[in-house]
Chain A
Amino acid sequence: MIEQLIWRWRERARSSVQHARLDWPLLGALFLLASIGLSTLYSASELNLSLVVGQGSRMLLGGMMLLLISRIPPSILRNWTPWLYGFSLLLLVVVALLGHGRGANRWLAIGPIRFQPSELMKLTLPMMVAWYLHARPLPPRWSALLIVAVLVGVPALLIAKQPDLGTALLVAASGLFAIFLAGLGWWRIFSLAGVMAAAAPLLWHFMHEYQRNRLRMFLDPESDPRGNGWHIIQSEIAVGSGGLFGKGWHHGTQSRLEFLPEHTTDFIFAVFSEEWGLIGVAVLIGLYLFIVGRGLWIASNARDTYSRLLAGSISMAFFVYVMVNGGMITGLLPVVGVPLPLVSNGGTSAVSLLAGFGVLMSIHGHRKLVSR
């Protein structure tokens, strides 16, 4: 009896592995990345195990989300898309009205769980843009672009207002990637870019004073050694002193000490760079590149436009994280609060990222099924 049960369980497990709609190379890369993330976190937090366990368990939750979502066919995701988007938008409005948080209204508290609706939007916004574009003749026309601009602009403005400029830009970027991948004509791309460049001074007008200060500091970090400029300088020292081979795990002096702000969250890359040097950085960036490339490969092989656009924009948005965070800690880009994916401490971000990869897995796993 028991043997039979065990046998049946084993068979079921074997079949679900064999028929699992998972992309093993991608999953392996993500697992590796999460391991690097946790070990860096352990070092950056001065061997604070409870912090690592907390982050680990949130990653586990994200992993389960990934597995769950990978079982859902893209066609069903597509049918849910407008509702999911509407729901995320509603949550953003609720946050704007009664959010919690230190100085910024980013969090919603439901019982003991606190999460940022803007993270949900990171996933549902590219879904919505893909959903809108997939039924239309491509490349998109101006009128379609206008609709997309509204679909992207409204949540981006709500998030920027929280204020969370980093996330707002990321959300907006994922929408723009979908348009790019949809085959928007080149001259339209360039004229859009021109319009956005012209609108940049307007953005300045909408920024909070601290955000403006960050930009000013970026241009001249030495001018404010007591504030944001100090952070940039210290981050560069941490990175630069890491050298080619790094100081070794948990031997970074600069980064773990008082000099580096937010060294378990936004500036954790500096800790990693100090301890593992250029070699470590190259490996990590290579890993990220592999994940993005694999994502785009999955997108290219997807069966329908919706899946393609969605998988493509999720992958490219993932790259933006790495680029913005890496640029920030090396003084290449201004300081905006963007985490290093799956390495920075932060629950909602890890869960939403892994959920996004769940969508990629689903698209990959269902590529052989006719979905239209």
Chain B
Amino acid sequence: MKSYSRITAIKDTAREADQFRIRAIIGFATIVLALSALVARFYHLQVQRHDEFTTRSEANRIRLHWLAPARGLIYDRNGVLLADNVPAYRLEVVPEHAGKLDPMLQELGAVVPLSDDDIEHFRQLVAGTPRYDSIPLRLHLSEDEVARFAINRYRFPGVDVVPYLTRRYPLANEFSHLVGYVGRIDLADKAQLDPGRYAVTTLVGKIGIERYYEDMLHGEPGYERVESNADGRALRVLDRIAPTPGKNLYLSIDARLQTVAEDAFVGRTGSAVAVDPRNGEVLAMVSVPGFDPNLFVNGIGHSDYNALLSAPEKPLLNRAVSGNFTPGSTVKPFVAMAGLGLGVRKATDTVFSTGEFHIAGQQRAYRDDLRGGHGRVDVIEAIARSVNTYFYSLAQDMGIDRFADYLVQFGFGEKTGIDLPTESRGVLPSRDWKMATQGKVWYPGETVIAGIGQGYWVITPVQLANALAILAGKGERRQIHLLHATQDGFGKPQVLQPIPAAAPSFIKPADWNAVAQGMIAVVNGDGTARGLGDGFPYVIAGKTGTAERYSRTTEAWQNIMETAVDRHQVLFEAFTPAESARIAVVVALEAGHTGASDAAPIARKMLDSWLTTDAAAGIGVLK
């Protein structure tokens, strides 16, 4: 302690030591004070409020009991129910109370059948959930199963039959692709969902509208604070925060039009889409064949699922947004519009069709459909009679770069952004696209066949319908969509979705008139679908398309030439009333004879149906 004798330079060590001792004492006094406060707090809780906490702890225990929100309903634009909630019963297990899970599952399986799928789902959820939470094991019990379990209930502590709301799709197959379906939450879903919001939710949207608008449809869970005894049995509910149901959705679809379209396919595979060009609302969207979405809701069986997967017609494929079609001649009005818009052709310019078209210096012949050709044709006749030579030469004169730059304005080669998951982009042929995807240079011949919608060009029906709606709307682009209105709950007012603003038109009225006259002539003049407009009160503008499914150089083509009548993908597009369109329809069949013979009648049936269902049907330009 006696360090005075030592010489320290600047520092006064002794003074520092004293200083430190004072500080240490002050520090210690503060600590004693703080810890006393802590002990006082313990005293307050453990002595003064002991009885209160004992009551809350020993005799009764409060647990939170989650309440699942009801999923929003889905309707068509007129209130036809497309997706409904119905009460059902499911088995739930609280692992903490259930004892050893393996023997329990074994025994339980003898009372209520459990599939491997049920058990696997259950095990996954057990691994990722606290042991005191209730976990669904089997959904949608039959009455018989509920009764059988009730008799044996005493053997299975921690297992219970619980009521819940399951999903039902009353119009099953017809809206399977569009509305989609919900299914049991799996691990992949769990990773993406908010665990708080989905704590007691069993079903989540998997495809279609159910998936796209999951967030709106789900709602917010509520909870009850429940007093339970030492065994965890509920004694009474202390308070209750009700769950908020999900929003009801009204789709822009008209179920009547949808039904007519679906029925018109009579066993063929394909898709039909109808759009209102004035606001971008989709009035019908059909993909045939459909399937029964009700099968998926409570867990689809392996045999049912394999049957759907292996069916040659691919019922699970949503052809409207994911089906890839070669557009063929249906793109000719758009190509013609490009020629006029870019100034490559005037409406009065003509081309002489001899039946064959040659690129200078090349042997290969690009053919017209009519042997010997159509003679001299202008743009109107070229569209009306689908004269290939006109478009070969037009595409060649435009060049692929200008061609692609112009046509992208109709949304070709891009997703439409419709409110559905899994939309395909299709392909708009271009030099850049080919280099990016295939790493190859562009050949002039590819430009020529792009002019008639062949070669690399791929569309989805919804993409073509979107393009047609832009054309019918005289160049005004509007976001096409399915959601018409939302509703906060039963009896609440509908909230209409705002109509998307249109981008300024890129089409000159004179050009539009020329192309529209061509399309009117297709139906009403000497065109490829002549007679289709007979008896229809409005002027229909349309265009047929018949796209070869196989290259003419392959053996498959030879076979199909000899055996099959339906050897093409056939399409038809139409809008009416031509001057101020209120509906634009696209029909695409995977196999057919010609667009005029197979696809156009389906479109006509849809237009007839629209006449009888459209609320605004007296307005417009009658013939």
Q: Which residues from chain A contact B37 at a C-beta distance below 8 Å? A: 332
Which listed segment binds A: B8-16, B369-377, B510-518? Answer: B8-16
- The secondary structure that dominates the B interface is helix
Which listed segment binds B: A60-68, A93-101, A231-239, A349-357? Answer: A231-239
Q: How far is the CB of A314 from chain B (nearest CB, A)?
A: 12
Cβ of A177 under 8 Å from chain B = yes
Cβ of B435 under 8 Å from chain A = no
- The secondary structure that dominates the A interface is helix
Q: How far is the CB of B240 from chain A (nearest CB, A)?
A: 12
Q: How many residues of A contact B (CB 8 A)?
A: 52
Q: In the complex, which residues 205-243 of chain A have their Cβ closer than 8 Å to any Cβ of chain B?
A: 225-227, 230, 236-243
Q: In the complex, which residues 1-58 of chain B have their Cβ closer than 8 Å to any Cβ of chain A?
A: 10-11, 13, 16-17, 19-21, 23-24, 27-28, 31-32, 34-35, 37-39, 41-43, 45-47, 49-50, 52-54, 56-58
Q: Which residues from chain A contact B560 at a C-beta distance below 8 Å? A: none
Query: How would residues 73 to 96 of chain B score, 1 for a CB under 8 Å from any chain A CB and 0 otherwise?
Result: 000000000000000000000001
Cβ of B367 under 8 Å from chain A = no
Q: In the complex, which residues 279-326 of chain A have their Cβ closer than 8 Å to any Cβ of chain B?
A: 281-282, 285, 288-289, 292-293, 296, 299-300, 304-305, 308-309, 312, 316, 319, 322-323, 326
Q: How distant is the Cα of A326 from the Cα of B58 in the complex, in angstroms?
A: 23
Q: Which residues from chain A contact B57 at a C-beta distance below 8 Å? A: 237-238, 240-241, 253-254
Quick check: A236 and B46 within 8 Å, CB to CB?
Answer: no
Query: How would residues 80 to 99 of chain A score, 1 for a CB under 8 Å from any chain B CB and 0 otherwise?
Result: 00000000000000000000
Cβ of B268 under 8 Å from chain A = no
Quick check: B130 and A323 within 8 Å, CB to CB?
Answer: no
Cβ of A259 under 8 Å from chain B = yes
Cβ of A183 under 8 Å from chain B = yes
Cβ of A139 under 8 Å from chain B = yes
Quick check: B35 and A323 within 8 Å, CB to CB?
Answer: yes
Q: Which residues from chain B contact A259 at a C-beta distance below 8 Å? A: 61, 63
Partner among A240, A285, A316 whose Cβ is within 8 Å of the Cβ of B39: A285
Quick check: A241 and B53 within 8 Å, CB to CB?
Answer: yes
Q: How distant is the Cα of A245 from the Cα of B35 in the complex, in angstroms?
A: 20
Partner among A237, A278, A296, A319 whose Cβ is within 8 Å of the Cβ of B56: A237
Q: Which residues from chain B contact A322 at a C-beta distance below 8 Å? A: 35, 38
Quick check: A236 and B35 within 8 Å, CB to CB?
Answer: no
Q: Which residues from chain B contact A77 at a C-beta distance below 8 Å? A: none
Quick check: B20 and A289 within 8 Å, CB to CB?
Answer: no
Q: How many residues of B contact A (CB 8 A)?
A: 44
Q: Which residues from chain A contact B23 at a C-beta distance below 8 Å? A: 180-181, 183, 312
Q: How far is the CB of B22 from chain A (nearest CB, A)?
A: 8
Q: Which residues from chain A contact B223 at a C-beta distance below 8 Å? A: 225-226
Query: How would residues 238 to 275 of chain A score, 1 for a CB under 8 Å from any chain B CB and 0 otherwise?
Result: 11111110000000011001110000000000000100
The answer to whether residues A289 and B16 also contact, given A137-B10, A180-B27 and a CB cut-off of 8 A, is no
Q: Which residues from chain A contact B35 at a C-beta distance below 8 Å? A: 285, 288-289, 319, 322-323
Cβ of A104 under 8 Å from chain B = no
Q: How distant is the Cα of A58 from the Cα of B61 in the complex, in angstroms?
A: 36
Q: How distant is the Cα of A236 from the Cα of B52 in the complex, in angstroms?
A: 11
Quick check: B11 and A137 within 8 Å, CB to CB?
Answer: yes
Quick check: A330 and B41 within 8 Å, CB to CB?
Answer: yes
Q: How distant is the Cα of A183 from the Cα of B23 in the complex, in angstroms?
A: 7
Cβ of A193 under 8 Å from chain B = no
Cβ of B132 under 8 Å from chain A = yes
Cβ of A54 under 8 Å from chain B = no
Q: How far is the CB of A18 from chain B (nearest CB, A)?
A: 24
Cβ of A32 under 8 Å from chain B = no
Q: Which residues from chain A contact B230 at a C-beta distance below 8 Å? A: 253
Query: How would residues 84 to 126 of chain A score, 1 for a CB under 8 Å from any chain B CB and 0 otherwise?
Result: 0000000000000000000000000000000000000000000
Quick check: A239 and B42 within 8 Å, CB to CB?
Answer: yes
Q: Which residues from chain A contact B49 at a C-beta distance below 8 Å? A: 240
Cβ of B196 under 8 Å from chain A = yes
Quick check: B42 and A241 within 8 Å, CB to CB?
Answer: no
Partner among B17, B24, B27, B47 whose Cβ is within 8 Å of the Cβ of A278: B47
Q: Which of A's residues lie within 8 Å of B, judged by CB?
A: 137-139, 177, 180-183, 225-227, 230, 236-244, 253-254, 257-259, 273, 277-278, 281-282, 285, 288-289, 292-293, 296, 299-300, 304-305, 308-309, 312, 316, 319, 322-323, 326-327, 330, 332
Top 8 closest A-B pairs, CB basis?
Answer: A240-B53, A241-B57, A240-B45, A258-B132, A183-B19, A241-B53, A278-B46, A254-B57
Instruction: Sample 22 A-B pairs with CB under 8 A, ordered by A number.
Output: A225-B223, A226-B223, A236-B53, A237-B57, A240-B53, A254-B61, A258-B131, A278-B43, A281-B46, A285-B39, A296-B28, A299-B20, A300-B24, A305-B13, A312-B27, A319-B34, A322-B38, A326-B38, A330-B41, A332-B37, A332-B38, A332-B41
For the A-B complex with A243-B50, A285-B35, A332-B37 known, give 20 more contacts whose Cβ atoms are closer than 8 Å: A138-B19, A139-B19, A180-B27, A181-B20, A183-B23, A227-B196, A230-B64, A241-B50, A241-B58, A258-B132, A289-B35, A292-B28, A293-B28, A299-B24, A305-B13, A316-B27, A319-B31, A323-B34, A330-B38, A330-B45
